[in-house]
């Protein structure tokens, strides 16, 4: 996971603070040292790290806990608030019809991100299109075309035209009926005159709502220099940090961009088209601290029309049929273990659920479907009545092995049992659900 070390340090912090009635200077030193170490390991700039932890210490020692908060809760809150600020404060992303110009150096992930963004907006119900303005790299048009096909989004461009401004002008005529226009541009080794001229020209023609710089996370704190340069020369409106999945330096890239005042708007977390997250520091830190991230879950759940599913997972009340639906939908939402780590109180479940449940293969799912088609409605509603002779009948009817019927029943029972053991956090699961309007 992104910034794993910081997550560990924050959980340690909570543990250390939990045992104390009163938090003294010594504990505070220890806690901030853990946070420092974790941030430094994520390649965060040393100066920034010390500024942050000094602020945390100062506020923790000097500020009186607001009414209703214990000293311990207050300190946790200070750590949370300061980390959120550290990553750029509250995010402000408005999902609306817009024109987006992507820019960045060679291989930073522009073309991939263009596709990811298109899919993101498409899932929000908008009508995106892509324009291939990279006329520099061979086969850039074909690459985008392939991505467009994969996600079902039209791509405009002209592989035989070498003038990117001309490509943009012509493509915009075809893009009139689209809500979101996403423009891929060509990279360079460095932000040289040629690139500046090209982007400026695209900028004039497109008049974009967002000018987003794409930088890879493995640059770590070096990302700052790029963000600064592009900001000065081209006036970017935000940054997308890609490849957060493949490096321990994500913290450096995030915090150093935030320090320049450039907002990190999205992060890329994999090569697949759905591996893009809106970057919201509040959510990000609360997930690391372990409050869970119900909002992200719901956003994803909505995308696959599975809000109901999410509710049922949380309540632990479902029939076999709904169980099947859940695993089917969950497949579209990312791995089950990823989802669990987003729900408060559920991350501890991860170890208890059978591994198979986490990584059910498509093949298996199909078999489960056949098995269920061979069950009576009564059996689906109340799987407890399924005895050996019924298992035999179901296996015969579905063309599956008896052992596979048993496997489905076992998974169902285990998951229900595990869900029942959920221990809501201090604020109570129901409180959180209310908070997020479930
Ligand atoms: N693991 C991972 N790989 C990514 C991510 N984003 C992009 N990539 C990979 O990075 C490589 C370069 O991505 P592109 O999208 O082609 O980059 P680009 O900026 O368009 O490159 P040029 O057009 O050559 O300047 C590809 O192999 C992508 O699959 C990400 O978030 N995670
Ligand atoms: Mg490209």
Tell me, using a 6 A CB cutoff, whether residue 218 lines ligand 1: no
DSSP 8-state code for residue 107: T
Please name the residues in contact with 385: beta carbons below 8 A apart, sequence gap of 6 or more: 378, 379
CA atoms of 185 and 165, how far apart (whole Å): 10
Token output for 410: 């076992």
Q: Which has the closest alpha carbon to 375: 324, 304, 327? A: 324
* Per-residue pLDDT at 428: 38
Q: What is the pTM of this model?
A: 0.69
Average pLDDT, the chain: 80
Query: What's the CATH fold of domain 4-86?
Result: 1.20.120
Chain segment 284-321, per-residue pLDDT in tens = 777 776 655 445 554 554 555 445 555 666 666 667 77
* Ligand 2 centroid, distance to 187 Cα (angstroms): 7
Write the pLDDT tens digit of every residue in 30-68.
888 988 888 888 888 888 899 999 999 999 888 887 766
Kindly state if the Cβ of 15 falls inside 6 Å of ligand 1: no
Q: Is the pLDDT of residue 137 over 50?
A: yes
How large is the average pLDDT for residues 352-369? 62
Q: Which atom of ligand 1 is nearest to the CA of 108?
A: 19
Which residue owns the Cα nearest ligand 1 atom 6?
109
* pLDDT for res 283: 76
pLDDT(333) > 60: no
In the chain, the percentage of residues whose pLDDT exceeds 90 is 39
Mean pLDDT in residue range 152-177:
96
- The pLDDT of residue 369 is 80
| Residue with the two structure tokens 């930073």 | 108
Mean pLDDT in residue range 356-368 = 64
Pocket of ligand 1 contains residue 135 by CB under 6 Å = no
Going by pLDDT thresholds of 50, 70 and 90, the confidence category of residue 17 is confident
Please give the pLDDT value at position 94.
Answer: 59
Nearest residue (by CA) to ligand 1, atom 14, is: 109
CA distance 157 to 2: 35
pLDDT value at 434 more than 50: no
Q: Is the pLDDT of residue 73 over 60?
A: yes
Q: Which residue has the higher pLDDT, 74 or 36?
A: 36
Which pLDDT belongs to residue 307?
53
d(CA 171, CA 191): 25
Q: What is the mean pLDDT of residues 269-290?
A: 83
Nearest residue (CA) to ligand 1, atom 27: 271
Q: How much is the pLDDT for 199?
A: 96
What's residue 427's pLDDT?
41
Q: Return the CATH number of 294-435, one of 3.30.465.10, 1.10.260.30, 3.40.50.300, 3.40.47.10.
A: 1.10.260.30
Containing 185, the helix (H) or strand (E) segment is strand 180-185
Is the pLDDT assigned to residue 426 strictly greater than 80? no
The answer to whether 190 and 107 have CB atoms below 8 angstroms apart is no
Least confident of 179-188, 205-214, 281-290, 293-302: 293-302
109 lines ligand 1 (CB under 6 A): yes
Helix (H) or strand (E) holding 183: strand 180-185
Residue 389: CA count within 13 A, CB half-sphere: 0
Contact yes or no for 243/109 (Cβ under 8 A): yes
* Ligand lying closest to the C-alpha of residue 240: 1
Evaluate if residue 192 carries a pLDDT over 70: yes
Residue 143, pLDDT > 90, answer yes
Helix (H, G, I), strand (E, B) or coil at 415: helix
How far away, in angstroms, is 134 Cα from ligand 1 center? Answer: 14
Fold designation for 98-284: Rossmann fold (3.40.50)
- The residue ranges of every structural domain in the chain are 4-86, 98-284, 294-435
Ligand number nearest to the C-alpha of 246: 1
The per-residue pLDDT for 334 is 52
Q: Is the confidence at residue 415, as pLDDT, over 80?
A: no
Label residue 236 left, alpha or beta by phi (over 0 means left) and psi (-120 to 50 means alpha): beta
* Average pLDDT for 205-224: 93
Residue of higher predicted confidence among 320 and 355: 320
Higher pLDDT residue, 364 or 20? 364
Is the C-beta atom of 140 inside 6 A of ligand 1? yes
Ligand found nearest the CA of 107: 1
Task: Check: CB of residue 197 under 8 Å from CB of residue 171.
Answer: no
pLDDT reported for residue 77? 75
What is the pLDDT, as a whole number, of residue 433? Answer: 40
Range among 32-46, 101-115, 387-401 with highest mean pLDDT value: 101-115
**Residue of 105, 107, 151 with the most ligand 1 atoms within 8 Å of its CB, for mutation:** 107
The pLDDT value recorded for residue 276 is 93
Q: Which two tokens stand for residue 269?
A: 């977390």
Closest atom of ligand 1 to 105 CA is 25
112 in contact with ligand 1, CB cutoff 6 A: yes
């Amino acid at each position: 996971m992104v910034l794993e070390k910081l997550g560990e340090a924050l959980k340690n912090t909570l543990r250390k603070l939990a045992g104390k009635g009163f938090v003294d200077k010594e504990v505070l030193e220890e806690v901030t040292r853990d946070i420092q170490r974790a941030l430094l390991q994520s390649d965060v700039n040393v100066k920034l790290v010390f500024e942050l932890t000094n602020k945390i210490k100062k506020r923790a020692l000097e500020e009186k806990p607001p009414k209703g908060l214990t000293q311990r809760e207050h300190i946790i809150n200070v750590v949370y608030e300061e980390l959120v600020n550290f990553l750029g404060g509250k995010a402000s992303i408005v999902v609306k019809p817009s024109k987006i110009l992507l820019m960045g150096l060679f291989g930073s992930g522009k073309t991939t991100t263009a596709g990811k963004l298109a899919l993101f907006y498409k899932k929000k119900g908008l009508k995106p299109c892509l324009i291939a303005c990279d006329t520099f790299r061979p086969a850039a048009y074909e690459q985008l075309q392939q991505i467009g096909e994969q996600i079902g989004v039209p791509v405009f461009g002209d592989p035989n035209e070498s003038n990117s401004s001309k490509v943009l002008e012509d493509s915009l005529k075809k893009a009139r009926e689209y809500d979101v226009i996403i423009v891929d541009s060509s990279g360079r080794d460095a932000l040289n005159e040629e690139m500046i001229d090209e982007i400026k020209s695209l900028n004039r023609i497109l008049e974009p709502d967002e000018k987003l710089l794409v930088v890879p996370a493995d640059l770590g704190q070096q990302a700052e220099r790029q963000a600064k340069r592009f900001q000065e020369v081209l006036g970017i409106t935000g940054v997308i940090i890609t490849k957060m999945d493949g490096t321990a330096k994500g913290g450096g890239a995030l915090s150093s961009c935030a320090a320049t005042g450039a907002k990190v708007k999205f992060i890329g977390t994999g090569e697949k088209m759905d591996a893009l997250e809106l970057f919201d520091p509040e959510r990000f830190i609360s997930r690391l601290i372990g409050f869970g991230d119900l909002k992200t879950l719901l956003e994803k759940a909505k995308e696959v029309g599975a809000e109901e599913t999410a509710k049922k997972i949380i309540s632990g009340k479902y029939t076999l049929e709904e169980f099947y639906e859940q695993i089917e939908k969950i497949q579209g939402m990312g791995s089950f273990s990823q989802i669990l780590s987003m729900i408060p109180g559920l991350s501890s479940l991860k170890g208890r659920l059978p591994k198979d449940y986490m990584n059910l293969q498509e093949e298996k799912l199909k078999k489960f479907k056949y098995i269920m088609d061979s069950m009576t409605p009564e059996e689906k509603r109340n799987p407890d009545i399924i005895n050996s002779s019924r298992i035999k009948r179901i296996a015969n009817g579905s063309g599956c092995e008896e052992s596979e019927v048993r496997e489905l029943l076992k998974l169902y029972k285990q998951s229900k049992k595990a869900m029942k053991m959920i221990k809501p956090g201090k604020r109570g699961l129901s409180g959180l659900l209310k908070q997020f309007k479930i």
